[in-house]
């Protein structure tokens, strides 16, 4: 296997007959999917998504791919292809379009509809091209063929990219449910046709590569949901992804069968289901859906709410219900169903929500106790089918953390792909396809770009480190007024703290230490305010460490008269 190496430098110029692949996200992580293809001086991008922050990134709203590697080549982009409309594949598109507004965006009907709804909120009008599976389109030197794939959102596609350098298949996210609710199967026959043509490089979804066997069909979820509806005596609240049209359809069907009215809760849920209904992808029986303002007039046994917040997002509807910060108040006897899987990193947030709901008397049903969710990603058995059907010369596992990528690599080797033809890369690594071989040839800048409110890229790791220190250790400020010429402290030192201690008189002892240290320093000739501030920081820091074994942020302020 080809492994990342810290000694890689910038890649060499790409040969005219070569194809370059640069993952700017989604390799070594789940989210932020974005892959750049380069051939004959032109660029093609597949997906442009976001990564959601973890607890160690306080205050951050979204994490974007780093566009710096292509920022000076925006005019070379022939198209941006979107495989499907999940946020980790389309969420960063508005930010890329801020760099160049007229990048042609290619996607299926639902993908573009959900994207355009998002772009409207950003006040951006995009140049789009709607495509369907089994179609071929050319963008610059890239001939692209699209294949239907089954996923946890309708209208997902894989894309085959043909160039003079070879044929690449990018599966996007997929599974191989043999009884999908919409009858739209993953086109394994099409993949096999590509295999006979000769796939030079396969980029394939690795999320469930560690999971043996085959995916549970969506149809097996319906009886479980039906049982929940049959047993519930008060309100039912279903939390799922706002893009999971199939799951919402199952809930609507069960609600209709059990005489419950449905209310969509959460801005993205209302928006996305409206789009899906308008496109005919969601069947909503007349009179079934009611407005949130009308639910108080209905008996609890006749209410079903479909909400966002299955991942414990702090501002989501379900999290606010758990915190009693929402107009819908959780009551004893309510049934809450978390109809989704846990995204890595969200476990603590989800369990906090579950505990909050349970505290208020709700019965919480989740994947751990009932079959209320099935994954949208192919497990190992299905990945083997794709590997055997496509018979690729080279394989590059994508869309997964390192454990997923390595598990997928072992599957590829088991099907006969030589170990040195399996490329284990990570974000920012440059892979060149030359003479039928894919190899890592260099690296490009590829850090996290943080969105904090309206600011994009203004917050970096140093600021996040400060935020973590403030959140975990608190801070201490020390204000001192000195007469440097006389070599004495005039006022202070005054110490105050936030998030450090509530005990009065805590800093009486250290105040005298600071005053004595500064007086001694000034008498020995130290009169620079910056040097005096450092002295204050060291003195207070040493005292705090010796007495509390803690490392708060220490902010000294030295003023001269």
Is 151 annotated in some ligand binding site?
A: yes
User: Among positive and negative, which fits the CA dihedral 14, 19, 24, 28?
Assistant: negative
Reported as half-sphere exposure (CB side, CA atoms, 13 A), residue 193 has a value of 9
Is 375 annotated in some ligand binding site?
A: yes
Can you tell me the distance from the alpha carbon of 506 to that of 500, in angstroms, rounded to the nearest whole number? 10
508-523 and 529-548 helices, crossing angle to 10°: 150
Is 408 annotated in some ligand binding site?
A: no
Radius of gyration of the chain from Cα atoms?
A: 28
Is 242 annotated in some ligand binding site?
A: yes
- DSSP states of 400-464 as a string? B-HHHHHHHHHHHHHTT--GGGBB---TTEEEEEETTEEEEEEE-----EEEETTEES---HHHH
List 66, 155, 205, 253, catalytic entry: 205
Is 421 annotated in some ligand binding site?
A: no
**Torsion angle in degrees (nearest 10) through CA of 521, 527, 528, 534:** 20
Can you tell me the distance from the alpha carbon of 239 to that of 249, in angstroms, rounded to the nearest whole number? 13
Question: Do residues 272 and 231 lie in contact, with contact meaning Cβ atoms separated by under 8 Å?
Answer: no
Spatial CA neighbour of 69 closest among 24, 26, 27: 24
205 flagged as catalytic: yes
Can you tell me the distance from the alpha carbon of 113 to that of 424, in angstroms, rounded to the nearest whole number? 34
The set of residues, in sequence order, having a beta carbon less than 8 Å from that of 7 and lying 6+ positions away, is none
For residue 519 the two structure tokens come to 């007086």
User: In the sheet where 553-560 sits, what is the strand order?
Assistant: 488-498, 475-483, 553-560
Spatial CA neighbour of 94 closest among 81, 103, 107, 84: 103
Is 340 annotated in some ligand binding site?
A: no
Is 390 annotated in some ligand binding site?
A: no
Is 137 annotated in some ligand binding site?
A: no
The set of residues, in sequence order, having a beta carbon less than 8 Å from that of 106 and lying 6+ positions away, is 79, 80, 81, 82, 128, 129, 131, 137, 139, 144
List 377, 404, 408, 421, catalytic entry: 377
Is 496 annotated in some ligand binding site?
A: no
Question: Do residues 142 and 163 lie in contact, with contact meaning Cβ atoms separated by under 8 Å?
Answer: yes
- DSSP states of 173-213 as a string? S-B--SS-TT-----HHHHHHHHHH--SEEEEE-TBTTS-S
The set of residues, in sequence order, having a beta carbon less than 8 Å from that of 208 and lying 6+ positions away, is 215, 375, 377, 378, 379, 380, 383, 404
377 flagged as catalytic: yes
C-alpha distances out from residue 482 to 305, 515, 516, 543, Å: 64, 10, 12, 21
Is 17 annotated in some ligand binding site?
A: no
For residue 276 the two structure tokens come to 């899906």
Is 88 annotated in some ligand binding site?
A: yes
Is 59 annotated in some ligand binding site?
A: yes
The residues annotated with a catalytic role in the active site are: 205, 377
Which residue positions form the known binding site? 59, 61, 84, 86, 88-89, 151, 173, 242-244, 373-377, 399, 452
Which residue positions form the known binding site for Ca(2+)? 59, 61, 452
Which residue positions form the known binding site for Zn(2+)? 84, 86, 88-89, 151, 173, 399
Which residue positions form the known binding site for substrate? 242-244, 373-377
């Amino acid at each position: 296997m080809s492994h990342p190496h810290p000694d890689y430098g910038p890649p060499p110029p790409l040969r005219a007959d070569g194809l370059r692949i640069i993952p700017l996200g989604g390799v070594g992580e789940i989210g932020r999917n974005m892959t750049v293809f380069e051939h004959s001086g032109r660029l093609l991008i597949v997906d442009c998504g976001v990564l959601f922050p973890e607890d160690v990134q306080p205050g951050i709203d979204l994490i974007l791919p780093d566009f710096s590697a292509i920022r000076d080549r925006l005019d070379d982009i022939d198209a941006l292809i979107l495989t499907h409309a999940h946020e980790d594949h389309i969420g960063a598109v508005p930010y890329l379009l801020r760099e160049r507004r007229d990048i042609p965006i290619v996607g299926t009907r639902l993908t573009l509809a959900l994207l355009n709804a998002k772009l409207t909120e950003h006040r951006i009008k995009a140049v789009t091209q709607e495509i369907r599976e089994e179609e071929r389109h050319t963008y610059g030197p890239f001939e692209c063929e699209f294949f239907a794939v089954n996923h946890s959102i309708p209208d997902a596609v894989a894309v085959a990219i043909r160039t003079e350098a070879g044929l690449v298949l990018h599966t996007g996210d997929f599974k191989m449910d043999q009884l999908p609710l919409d009858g739209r199967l993953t086109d394994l026959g099409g993949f096999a046709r590509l295999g006979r043509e000769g796939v030079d490089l396969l980029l394939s979804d690795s999320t469930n590569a560690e999971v043996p066997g085959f995916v549970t069909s969506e149809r097996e979820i319906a009886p479980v949901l039906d049982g929940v509806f049959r047993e519930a005596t008060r309100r039912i609240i279903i939390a799922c992804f706002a893009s999971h049209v199939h799951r919402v359809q199952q809930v609507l069907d069960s609600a209709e069968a059990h005489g419950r009215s449905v209310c969509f809760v959460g801005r993205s849920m209302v928006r996305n289901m409206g789009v899906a209904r308008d496109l005919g992808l969601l069947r909503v029986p007349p009179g079934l859906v009611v407005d949130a303002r009308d639910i108080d007039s209905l008996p609890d046994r006749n209410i079903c709410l479909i909400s966002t917040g299955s991942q414990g997002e702090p501002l989501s509807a379900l999290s606010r219900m758990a915190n009693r910060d929402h107009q819908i108040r959780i009551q004893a006897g309510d049934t809450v169903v978390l109809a989704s899987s846990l995204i890595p990193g969200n476990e603590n947030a989800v369990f906090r929500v579950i505990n909050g709901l349970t505290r208020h008397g709700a019965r919480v049903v989740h994947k751990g106790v009932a079959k209320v969710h099935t994954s949208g990603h192919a497990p190992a058995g299905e990945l083997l089918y794709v590997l055997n059907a496509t018979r690729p010369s080279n394989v590059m596992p994508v869309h997964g953390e390192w454990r997923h990528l390595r598990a997928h690599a072992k599957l590829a080797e088991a099907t006969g792909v030589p170990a040195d033809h399996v490329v284990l890369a990570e974000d920012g690594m440059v892979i060149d396809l030359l003479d039928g071989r894919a190899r890592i040839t260099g690296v490009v800048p590829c850090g996290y770009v943080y969105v904090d409110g309206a600011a994009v890229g203004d917050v970096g790791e140093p600021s996040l480190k400060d935020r973590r220190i403030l959140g975990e250790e608190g801070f201490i400020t020390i204000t001192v007024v000195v007469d440097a010429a006389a070599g004495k402290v005039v006022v202070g030192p005054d110490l105050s703290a936030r998030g450090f201690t509530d005990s009065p008189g805590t800093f009486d002892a250290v105040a005298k230490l600071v005053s004595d240290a500064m007086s001694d320093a000034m008498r020995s000739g130290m009169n620079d305010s910056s040097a005096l501030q450092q002295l204050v920081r060291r003195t207070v820091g040493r005292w705090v460490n010796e007495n509390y074994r803690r490392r708060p942020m220490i902010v000294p302020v030295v003023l001269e008269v």
